[in-house]
A and B are shown apart, each in its own frame.
Chain A
Amino acid sequence: MFILITGLLLGGTYALIALGLNLQYGVARIMNLANGELLVAGGFAAFWLYTAGQVSPVAALLVIAPVAFAANWLVYRIMLVPLVKRAKSRGALEVDSILATFGMSFAFVGVMSWLFGGGYFNYAFLATPVDIFGSSYAQNRVVAFSLAVVIGGALWLWLSFTRAGLNLRAVSVNPRSAPLVGIDVRAASALAFALGGAVTATGGALVSMFFTLDASVGVLFTMKALIIVIMGGVGDIRGTIVAALILGITETAVARLIDPGLTLAAAYFLFLLILLFRPQGLFGRAQG
C-alpha cells in the first residue's frame, strides 16, 4: 500500500514533467533532449528563491512558469525554427532536433557547472510527514502531487475546451492539413514548445521539494520523460498520465523490493515491453 501511494505521488509529479515533453514532441515535433536540464533549471530557481528569498516553491511557480515560457519561446524561435525550415522530412527534423537539443543540454550543464559548481542542492520545504491511510508520507510529496494534478488538469481542460488548445491538438494529429483549416502551424508549435517548457520547469520546481538535484542529473529525468511519453502514446495526455503513474509505482516498487540502484533498468524494462508489444504506446494511434 505504501508502495502504491508513494508510487502514485511520484508518478503524478513525473506526469507533469512528461506532459511538457509531450507538448514539445507531439505538437512542435521537437524531441527535446534538454528537457531534463529544463527541469533542473526550474528546480534550481525554486531552490534559489527559497534559500535566498524565503519564497515558498509553490509561490515561486508564479515566477518560474512565465520565465520558462518566455525562455522556451525564444529558444524555439531562434534555434529551432531554422531546423524546421530546412528539414526535408519529419525524420530529418527529429534527428536534427535531437542533436541540437542534445548540444543545448550539454552546453547548459557546462554553464551551470561553471557558474554554480558541481555541488548538489536541496532544501527542506514541508518535509514534515502527513498521515494517509495509516502510513506517513512527506507533506511535500503530497503537495507536489496535488499541484501536479491541478496543473495537469487545467492543462487538459485548456487543450480540450479552448480554441487555442484545439489548434494544438489539430497540429499534433495532422500538421500538414492543419494549415488548410486556417491554423498557423508555426505559431501553434511555438506556443506548444513554450508551454511545454513552462510545464516542465514547473515540474522541476515541484520535484526539487523532495529530490536532491545537481547540475548533471537532468539526463536521467529526460530519459524517464521520454519513456513515459512513448509508453503513453505521443500526443495523448491521458496516456502520459497513466504511463507516468505506472512508472512511478514500478520505480518505487523496484527500489523498495529489489534494489534502489535498478530504477533506470526498471524503467527501461517497461520501455522494452512497450517497444516489443505496443510501439504506438498505450493510448497512441497505430501508424496505419
Chain B
Amino acid sequence: MSLLQIRGVTKRFGGLVAVKDMEFDVQPHEVMGIIGPNGSGKSTMINMISGSFAPTAGSIRLKGHELAGEPAHRINRLGVARTFQLVRLLPELSVVQNVVAGAAFGHRRRWGASAERFAMDLLSRVGLAGVAGMPVSALTYIDTKRVELARALASEPEVLLLDEWLAGLNPTELATGIGLIRSLRDEGRTIILVEHVMDAIRSLCDRCVVMSSGTKIAEGAPAEVLSDRQVIAAYLGDGDA
C-alpha cells in the first residue's frame, strides 16, 4: 500500500489553473522528486500536501487518511512535516527551542526535558552540535536550513517535504546538504523533494514526477525521466529536444 496517494488533484486560483489532475503515489521509504520548470505548479502541489491551502478538487491520502481540505495543523499531526522555500525560523527563540517547537505539538509529541534531549540529538544529527543555545540571528545560511530541517524531523513525520531545500547553497555546502539528505534516506525516511538541482535529483531520488504547466508530463526513475524528450522540451524549449 502506498504511503501517500495523490488522485485527481486540481488547484484553481480564480481563473488560473495552477495544478491540473495530478496523480502519483509515494511508497514508504522512497525518495520522490518533483521537478519541472518554474511556474509548473511544484510548490503549489507541496503546499496542498502540507495544508497551506486546500485543493479545488481531488484527494490526497496519507495511509488512508484524507488530507485534502484539512487545516495545516491537523495534517502535521497526521504525519506530514515540511521545510519552506524561504527559511522560516522563529527569531525570538533559541536554536534548540526552534527544534523543540517542531516536537511539542506534532505527529509524535514531546515536552520538557525529554523534548530538549531529543532536540539536541537532532541538532547533532544534522551537524549542528555546538550551537544549541545560540540565537538564530547568529547562524550562517546553511545552518539556518539545518535548523529548519531538524524542526521538521522533530515530530517524527511519516512524510518529509523539502521545498527547494538545496537552493542557494555554494558547491561545498551543496555536497554537504546532499550528503545529509542521503543519510536521511538511508535511515528509511520517506521524503518528497522539490528541486531544481539536477545532481541532487539524480543521486538522491528513487523516482521522479515531472510537472509542466500544472500537469504531470513524465514519471519514473531519474535517468529515464531526464532523458525524456518531453521533459527536455519543457525545460529547454523544443529546439534542443
Is there a direct interface between A and B, measured as CB atoms under 8 Å apart in the complex? Answer: yes
In the complex, what's the smallest C-beta–C-beta distance from A42 to chain B, in angstroms?
Answer: 37
The reply to whether A88 and B91 contact each other, CB–CB distance below 8 Å, is yes
For the complex, what is the distance from the CA of A38 to the CA of B37, rounded to whole Å?
50
Query: A119 at interface (Cβ–Cβ under 8 A)?
Result: no
Mind listing 5 A-B residue pairs with CB under 8 Å? A88-B91, A285-B14, A288-B13, A288-B52, A288-B53
> What chain A residues lie within 8 Å of B91 (beta carbons)?
88
Q: Is chain A's interface secondary structure helix, strand, loop, or mixed overall?
A: loop
For the complex, what is the distance from the CA of A285 to the CA of B52, rounded to whole Å?
16
For the complex, what is the distance from the CA of A121 to the CA of B212, rounded to whole Å?
65
For the complex, what is the distance from the CA of A159 to the CA of B45, rounded to whole Å?
35
> What chain B residues lie within 8 Å of A288 (beta carbons)?
13, 52-53
For the complex, what is the distance from the CA of A88 to the CA of B92, rounded to whole Å?
12
Closest to B53 in A: A288
With an 8 Å Cβ cutoff, the count of chain A residues facing the other chain is 3
Q: Is chain B's interface secondary structure helix, strand, loop, or mixed overall?
A: loop
Q: Which residues of A271-288 have CB atoms within 8 Å of chain B's CB atoms?
A: 285, 288
For the complex, what is the distance from the CA of A88 to the CA of B136, rounded to whole Å?
14
> What chain A residues lie within 8 Å of B14 (beta carbons)?
285
Q: Which residues of A250-288 have CB atoms within 8 Å of chain B's CB atoms?
A: 285, 288
Q: Which residues of B29-62 have CB atoms within 8 Å of chain A's CB atoms?
A: 52-53
Closest to B91 in A: A88
> What chain A residues lie within 8 Å of B53 (beta carbons)?
288
For the complex, what is the distance from the CA of A288 to the CA of B13, rounded to whole Å?
8
For the complex, what is the distance from the CA of A88 to the CA of B14, rounded to whole Å?
30
Q: What is the 8 Å Cβ interface bit string for chain A, positions 87-105, against chain B (1 contact, 0 not)? A: 0100000000000000000
| A residues neighboring B (CB under 8 Å) | 88, 285, 288
> What chain A residues lie within 8 Å of B13 (beta carbons)?
288
> What chain B residues lie within 8 Å of A88 (beta carbons)?
91
Closest to B44 in A: A288
In the complex, what's the smallest C-beta–C-beta distance from B199 to chain A, in angstroms?
Answer: 28
For the complex, what is the distance from the CA of A88 to the CA of B137, rounded to whole Å?
13
For the complex, what is the distance from the CA of A19 to the CA of B53, rounded to whole Å?
31
In the complex, what's the smallest C-beta–C-beta distance from B54 to chain A, in angstroms?
Answer: 11
> What chain B residues lie within 8 Å of A285 (beta carbons)?
14
> What chain A residues lie within 8 Å of B52 (beta carbons)?
288
In the complex, what's the smallest C-beta–C-beta distance from A92 to chain B, in angstroms?
Answer: 10
In the complex, what's the smallest C-beta–C-beta distance from B241 to chain A, in angstroms?
Answer: 30
In the complex, what's the smallest C-beta–C-beta distance from A195 to chain B, in angstroms?
Answer: 28
In the complex, what's the smallest C-beta–C-beta distance from B189 to chain A, in angstroms?
Answer: 29
Q: What is the 8 Å Cβ interface bit string for chain B, positions 140-181, against chain A (1 contact, 0 not)? A: 000000000000000000000000000000000000000000
For the complex, what is the distance from the CA of A136 to the CA of B142, rounded to whole Å?
72
Closest to B14 in A: A285
Q: Which residues of B44-99 have CB atoms within 8 Å of chain A's CB atoms?
A: 52-53, 91
In the complex, what's the smallest C-beta–C-beta distance from A286 to chain B, in angstroms?
Answer: 8
For the complex, what is the distance from the CA of A285 to the CA of B53, rounded to whole Å?
14
Closest to A287 in B: B53
Closest to B47 in A: A288
For the complex, what is the distance from the CA of A288 to the CA of B53, rounded to whole Å?
6
For the complex, what is the distance from the CA of A71 to the CA of B53, rounded to whole Å?
42
For the complex, what is the distance from the CA of A88 to the CA of B13, rounded to whole Å?
28
In the complex, what's the smallest C-beta–C-beta distance from A268 to chain B, in angstroms?
Answer: 28
Closest to B52 in A: A288
For the complex, what is the distance from the CA of A285 to the CA of B91, rounded to whole Å?
29
In the complex, what's the smallest C-beta–C-beta distance from A9 to chain B, in angstroms?
Answer: 34
In the complex, what's the smallest C-beta–C-beta distance from B94 to chain A, in angstroms?
Answer: 17
In the complex, what's the smallest C-beta–C-beta distance from B68 to chain A, in angstroms?
Answer: 16
In the complex, what's the smallest C-beta–C-beta distance from A96 to chain B, in angstroms?
Answer: 16
Q: Which 5 A-B pairs have the closest CB atoms?
A: A288-B53, A88-B91, A288-B13, A288-B52, A285-B14
For the complex, what is the distance from the CA of A175 to the CA of B202, rounded to whole Å?
37
For the complex, what is the distance from the CA of A285 to the CA of B16, rounded to whole Å?
13
Closest to A88 in B: B91
In the complex, what's the smallest C-beta–C-beta distance from B219 to chain A, in angstroms?
Answer: 27
For the complex, what is the distance from the CA of A47 to the CA of B91, rounded to whole Å?
51
For the complex, what is the distance from the CA of A288 to the CA of B72, rounded to whole Å?
13
